[in-house]
């Protein structure tokens, strides 16, 4: 993957105007405004580090395209637009470049989204009078339906761990809690001990953008968590050494007493899926998809599911209304007088 940076160590620094590289004043102009933009995203909008890194990579790709303006591969030859001088023609040339180089529709849409955010910021700061993204349509995305487990498959999966071992108690608690709450895997592994209230059966989650939400869970998850905390976690914690001591008191620990990682949980759920004969691809997000779909199939309100999942936009949650055609047909058959 191509990468570029306006920093002093980036590829622009190694080029000169004689061999087709970007002029120093052009690099300095972009460096200054991008620094202010990322400060805004971090300290005003409160975006996460992962989101900031994604925006940075996407904008770097656009700068790499502009930096090839003199060799005929980017923009108009010989033209080096400052941030406020980028035109709609430049944006369209960039999108054409991405399409010609085989970039996926989702990639092109994401790169365009980063540019929209950047130029929206310039508009708010009154650095420009109009955005070059006006009248630029986003590539049409065909959103794939999420993979979902049946109720029977879900039961086989969450009941697969061996409760006679500390790891088995941990795995049962994780799978039950994930299916009971629809947590993202990053949210699950980040839970501290004080995030879970067993008495009132809820978990306090810090989601995307550091947004906090309270999610309830049921009896099965409560029993699995209680068993893990009483008989499993202490055994895992005793395996900790001074060299491997974790930071804080994470709820779920690995076999060495350290906090479990996303990669670790991914391997765990894949292994259990294979062990119980689930042929379809199963990832940590599969349980989240199944949680949402099963709630909606049972009549839960879409906005309640949105709140439980931590979605900012209802349209993100609405994809789950298209997953089960059989459930839709069943509702029709029950409700229509001449079904």
Residue 310: which of 196, 215, 201 has the closest Cα? 215
Residue 184 known to be catalytic:
yes
From 184, 233, 289, 294, the catalytic residue = 184
**Residue 155 burial class via C-beta count within 10 angstroms: exposed 0-12, middle 13-18, buried 19 and up:** middle
From 56, 57, 116, 208, the catalytic residue = 208
Residue 311 known to be catalytic:
yes
Distance CA 4, CA 1 (A): 10
* End-to-end alpha carbon distance in the chain: 54
Residue 161: both structure tokens together: 């761990």
Long-range contacts of 204-207 (CB under 8 A, 24+ apart): 205/181, 205/310, 207/310
Distance CA 217, CA 207 (A): 17
Cβ–Cβ under 8 Å, residues 55 and 62: no
Residue 121: which of 34, 25, 210 has the closest Cα? 34
Distance CA 119, CA 252 (A): 42
Residue 120 known to be catalytic:
no
Distance CA 314, CA 293 (A): 15
Sequence length of the chain is 339
Q: What positions carry a catalytic annotation?
A: 184, 208, 285, 288, 311, 320
């Amino acid at each position: 993957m191509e990468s570029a940076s306006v920093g002093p160590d980036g590829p622009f620094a190694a080029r000169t105007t004689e061999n087709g590289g970007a002029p120093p004043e052009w690099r300095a102009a972009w460096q200054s405004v991008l620094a202010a933009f990322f400060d805004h995203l971090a300290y005003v909008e409160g975006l996460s580090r992962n989101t900031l890194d994604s925006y940075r990579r996407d904008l770097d790709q656009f700068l790499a395209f502009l930096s090839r303006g003199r060799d005929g591969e980017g923009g108009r030859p010989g033209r080096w637009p400052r941030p406020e001088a980028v035109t709609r023609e430049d944006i369209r040339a960039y999108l054409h470049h991405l399409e010609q180089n085989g970039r996926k529709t989702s990639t092109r849409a994401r790169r365009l989204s980063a540019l929209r955010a950047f130029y929206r910021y310039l508009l708010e700061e009154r650095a420009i009078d109009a955005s070059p993204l006006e009248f630029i349509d986003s590539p049409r995305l065909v959103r794939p339906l999420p993979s979902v487990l049946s109720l029977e498959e879900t039961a086989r999966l969450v009941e697969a761990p061996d409760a006679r071992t500390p790891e088995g108690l941990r795995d049962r608690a994780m799978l039950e809690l994930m299916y009971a709450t629809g947590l993202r895997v990053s949210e699950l592994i980040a839970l501290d001990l004080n995030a879970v209230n067993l008495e009132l059966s809820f978990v306090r989650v810090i989601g995307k953008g550091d947004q906090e939400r309270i999610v309830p869970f049921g009896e099965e998850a409560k029993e699995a968590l209680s068993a893990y905390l009483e008989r499993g976690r202490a055994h895992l914690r005793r395996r900790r050494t001074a060299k491997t001591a974790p930071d804080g008191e994470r709820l779920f620990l690995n076999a060495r007493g350290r906090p479990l990682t996303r990669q670790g949980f991914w391997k765990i759920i894949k292994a259990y899926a294979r062990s119980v004969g689930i042929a379809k691809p199963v990832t940590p997000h599969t349980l989240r998809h199944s949680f949402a779909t099963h709630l909606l199939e049972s009549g839960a309100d879409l906005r309640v599911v949105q709140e439980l999942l931590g979605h900012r936009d209802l349209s993100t949650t609405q994809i789950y209304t298209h997953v089960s055609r059989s459930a839709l047909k069943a509702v029709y058959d029950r409700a229509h007088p001449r079904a």
